[in-house]
Structure 1
Amino acid sequence: MPSPYLTVILTIDEPIHMGATAAQGPTSWDTLASGISAAPCTIVHDGNQHGIQLSLTPLGSRALFGMPTAAIGAWMVDLEDVIGSDASELRERIAAHDSWDERFAILDEVFLRRIDALDEVKFDPTLERAWQLLTADAGNARVADVAADVGWSRRHLVNRFAGEFGITPKDSARIARFSAAHSIMRRVEIPSVAEIAALCGYYDQAHMARDWRELAGMSPSRWRAAEQFTFVQADDTDDDADLSA
């Protein structure tokens, strides 16, 4: 689902199969990276998935990939195209272990090695400030107010922002608001849609429903009824638990 994060997936055993998007046809990946998009991606599966999924902030993209989020855009790409042979090393080493502690230790080792090897992260502090303002508080900041806060014209903010993040300031706030609502909708017990709309800064329930139809392809109540997988977090004491989702 659309979110203000980049997605990285490392599969174990079987590849992940993605349905067609507006930008790409159906694809299959052993490892993938994708940027920030205002459209959902469909995962095609038989009810089983096995692997690790990471959510990266734009600053994380700079630190790990050495590139802006906009370099990936809304595309799904092979992680090897982004980080080279480190991607295949990650997948092979992670697949060779059954312990999640060992798998996560390998992930930390390789990614920390990449951070050490790359030059110091060059992230414009003004853009970082603009991103934080637009995506914090469920995306309720106004673009004009953010431009005034950082001392740029609205046009300059839009151009610089899109060049770094691959989306407009308005879309970033919209995605952040949607992501906040989506997080609440994933809970086992949820408030009414009207209450969620109010909590996340929508004008009303109809406003939230319109945004969901555009960003998720369906209304929030329909999504909730159709969702087959609740979010499950294994107990910390269960060493053998499968933490994949």
Structure 2
Amino acid sequence: MAHAAGEPLPPATSEAGWQCRRYSPGVRLNERIGRLQAFAVRLTSPVQLLEPPRGHVALVIGFGNPIHITTLTTPDTEGTYDSFLVGPDHPPLITRHDGERTCFEILLSPCTAYELFGGRTQGLDGQVIPLEAFLGDMVNRLTEQLIVAASWEQRFALLETTLTRHLDRQPWQVRDEIRWAWHCLEQSGGAMPVSELVSALGWSHRHFVHSFQHYTGMTPKAAARYLRLARALACIDQSPEEALAAVALECHYCDQSHLTREFHALAGCTPATYRHQCLGHFLPVSPAGARSGFFKTAPAPSA
């Protein structure tokens, strides 16, 4: 059963004006999204955060002061957004904002995003796209309703109802075999070998890779890498004192060195840097246009 008013999460340690609530939707959506949570902040000075990819399409609906986003690999390019969408394999992002802002973050499986947006999420290519480009005026109407809603309970219920109705109206369907394959990869944290999926389906390797990429926008190998990273991020988020060698073992990396290489390639920094300087902390804000020397430039991941 859904938590009516959302499950409150502890505030960030470095900012008193920060609230976060997590919500578990009903059965209709529970199997189709990875996470639904809300943030409300009231800041007295600008802050910025590192946002690594987590293997899911991130749909963000927000209002209040807009958020400024740049990629770690192209720090001189910045966009300003209220509501936006990023793909499951986006480059590490730096988000910056100040003042008051409320936003809802919905993590969708690529299969659900395909059905919600008719396959258009495959063309994101690591970009941050304004949500209006996908949902048009529906975004403005929904935002206005969220602003005037009297409680968190009403806001979450409104989001759940809106998403469910929109999904029900869409004609696009992902093949059951690909949905099953994604579920297997997700549940295993990216550890299930692609060869096992191919064997279980009885398809040729080439046909499986082509079909998987058509619906998810990623090859199975790339999806496995990002899902493995997502599990590693979750482990560090939940148990920041756990030894990185143990995290590597739990998340099916060969060893700690393998974890460090993959983490740096996809998240933009080492797991040690993420744990000690990003987790639960706001990053120092540099002057506009200044390139941060805090992170090393992350190489583009291979497929």
TM-score normalised according to structure 1 size? 0.84
Tell me what 1:210 maps to.
261
If each structure's helix is expressed as a fraction of its own residues, which one has the higher value?
1
| CA deviation vs aligned residue, 1:162-207 (integer Å, no higher than 9, x gap) | 2211111111111111100100111254311001111111110000
Task: Determine helix, strand or coil for the equivalent of 1:229.
Answer: coil
| CA deviation vs aligned residue, 1:22-41 (integer Å, no higher than 9, x gap) | 58931111111122115211
The correspondence of residues 137-152 of structure 1 with structure 2, limited to 5 A, is 137-152=188-203
Tell me what 1:170 maps to.
221
Stretch deviating more after TM superposition (128-137 or 59-68): 59-68
Tell me what 2:246 maps to.
195
Q: How many residues align?
A: 229
The correspondence of residues 225-244 of structure 1 with structure 2, limited to 5 A, is 225-227=276-278, 229=280
Stretch deviating more after TM superposition (212-221 or 49-58): 49-58
2:162 to 107, 110, 119: 110
Tell me what 2:39 maps to.
none
Stretch deviating more after TM superposition (182-191 or 169-178): 182-191
Percent of aligned pairs with the same residue?
Answer: 27
Does structure 2 conserve the Cα–Cα contact (< 8 Å) formed by 1:8 and 1:34? yes
**In 2, distance between residues paired with 1:135 and 1:188?**
20
If each structure's strand is expressed as a fraction of its own residues, which one has the higher value?
2
Tell me what 2:137 maps to.
85
1:55 to 85, 104, 107: 107
**In 2, distance between residues paired with 1:4 and 1:165?**
10
Instruction: Sort the Cα spacing of 1:200 and 1:150 in 2 relative to 1 into closer, same or farther, 3 A.
Output: same
Does structure 1 conserve the Cα–Cα contact (< 8 Å) formed by 2:92 and 2:267? yes
Task: Determine helix, strand or coil for the equivalent of 2:164.
Answer: helix
Deviation at 1:223, TM superposition (A): 0.8
| CA deviation vs aligned residue, 1:38-92 (integer Å, no higher than 9, x gap) | 5211112348642111111123214433336424443221111112221111112
Structure 2 unmatched ranges of 5 or more: 1-51, 282-303
Does structure 2 conserve the Cα–Cα contact (< 8 Å) formed by 1:68 and 1:164? no
Does structure 1 conserve the Cα–Cα contact (< 8 Å) formed by 2:83 and 2:131? yes
Stretch deviating more after TM superposition (193-202 or 12-21): 12-21
Does structure 2 conserve the Cα–Cα contact (< 8 Å) formed by 1:69 and 1:164? no
Q: CA RMSD in A?
A: 2.3
- Does 2:72 correspond to 1:11? no
**In 2, distance between residues paired with 1:198 and 1:48?**
41
Structure 1 unmatched ranges of 5 or more: 231-245
Tell me what 1:238 maps to.
none
Instruction: Sort the Cα spacing of 1:189 and 1:35 in 2 relative to 1 into closer, same or farther, 3 A.
Output: closer
